């Protein structure tokens, strides 16, 4: 079996995603227990206990989710689709526990001024960052305000220099990989998430660019989180893994003796509510209880990965350079059977 480096995976003949690869321990681990492992990191000026950023979807991140994720050492990006942005300020003051918000390209200066004055991270929430209007908006915000800006999304590192020149502090990587996203089907755009990440990672390294990389889409498990970080991500953005938790917007619904919550893509009909081009689906996901249990599971899984790979810190994990490419049968063999 061949063991692949990041560079070899980046030059692989096929587009790869998380199910196509596996991390390979190649040395004797000195880590005795998971408790020895440190997964803390600094991202966009924030000290993170777990390198997780929530997706700014209207069924994932509202006020309650953003506040709880902040408490758990993560970042929650409050969505721009409902009344959440209007509820950020009470009597002119920002409510406690909010670190980041998403805005549209048409966001007005009054709102941006409020967000910037409170040192919130601003996420320009679009499907395609390879766009002159997105770059212009980013440049305008960075010139006017002292604030960190996330832009997205990209599937390739070819325009990373343009994003940095526009002032972007971080970029969301991945087009079409989200479980509720139909962009690839509708447009033919997008590649596997691992290949997207690697291409952006090497573009950043080769050009010595100062920009954070957020793996956005396709992450289904703590193992995928570890793979994303090993492939070059500084943080992961989660939608479906956080969907259905108590803190997500929306009511808990009882159906067929089971509890559910709604989950939908940002370009779904339920968000747009008009008959324009749709690039997102809607579904129901089982109710999961408190988001704390999901984050704790990610933390434990990530620490376990690092104990296998002899990693004391996230920086150690990001330096790992030994991967396997899995056949379909090899992937299926690894799935639990009942």
Residues serving a catalytic function are 181
DSSP symbols for 51-109: -EEE---TTT-SHHHHHHHHHTT-EEEE-SSSSGGGGSEETTEEPTT--EEEE-TT--H
Picking from 262, 291, 288, 277, the residue whose alpha carbon sits closest to that of residue 57 is: 262
CA distance 235 to 43: 8
Phi, psi of 334 (to 5 degrees): -85, -10
Are residues 238 and 297 in contact, defined by beta-carbon separation less than 8 angstroms?
no
CA distance 100 to 66: 8
Both ends of the chain: CA-CA distance in Å?
Answer: 29
Element (H, E) at 226: helix 222-230
CA distance 23 to 321: 9
Phi, psi of 119 (to 5 degrees): 60, 35
Element (H, E) at 123: strand 121-125
Are residues 230 and 18 in contact, defined by beta-carbon separation less than 8 angstroms?
no
Are residues 239 and 57 in contact, defined by beta-carbon separation less than 8 angstroms?
yes
């Amino acid at each position: 079996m061949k063991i692949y480096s990041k560079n070899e995976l980046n030059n692989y003949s096929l587009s790869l995603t998380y199910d196509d690869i596996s991390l390979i321990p190649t040395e004797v681990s000195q880590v005795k227990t998971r408790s020895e492992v440190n997964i803390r990191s600094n991202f966009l000026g924030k000290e993170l206990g777990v390198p997780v950023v929530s997706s700014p979807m209207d069924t994932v991140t509202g006020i309650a989710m953003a506040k709880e994720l902040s408490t758990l050492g993560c970042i929650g990006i409050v969505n721009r689709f409902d009344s959440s942005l209007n509820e950020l300020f009470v009597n002119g003051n920002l409510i406690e526990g909010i670190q980041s918000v998403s805005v549209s390209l048409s966001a007005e200066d009054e709102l941006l001024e409020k967000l910037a004055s409170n040192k919130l991270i601003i996420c320009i929430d679009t499907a395609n960052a390879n766009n002159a209007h997105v770059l212009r908006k980013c440049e305008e915000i960075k010139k006017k305000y002292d604030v960190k800006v996330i832009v997205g999304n990209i599937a390739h590192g070819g325009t990373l220099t343009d994003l940095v020149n526009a002032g972007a502090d971080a970029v969301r990587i991945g087009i079409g990989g989200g479980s509720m996203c139909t962009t690839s089907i509708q447009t033919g755009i997008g590649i596997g998430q691992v290949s997207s990440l690697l291409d952006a990672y090497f573009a950043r390294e080769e050009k010595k660019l100062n920009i954070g990389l957020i793996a956005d889409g396709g992450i289904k498990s703590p193992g995928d989180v570890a793979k994303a970080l090993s492939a070059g991500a500084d943080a992961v953005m989660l939608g479906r893994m956080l969907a259905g938790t108590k803190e997500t917007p929306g009511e808990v619904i009882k159906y067929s003796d089971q509890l559910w919550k709604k989950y939908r893509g940002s370009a779904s009909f339920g968000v747009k509510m008009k008959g324009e081009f749709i690039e997102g689906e809607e579904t129901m996901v089982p109710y999961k209880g408190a988001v704390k249990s999901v984050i704790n599971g990610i933390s434990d899984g990530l620490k376990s990965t690092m104990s296998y790979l002899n990693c004391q810190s996230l920086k150690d994990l990001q330096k790992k350079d030994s991967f396997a490419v899995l056949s379909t049968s090899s992937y299926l063999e690894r799935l639990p059977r009942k």
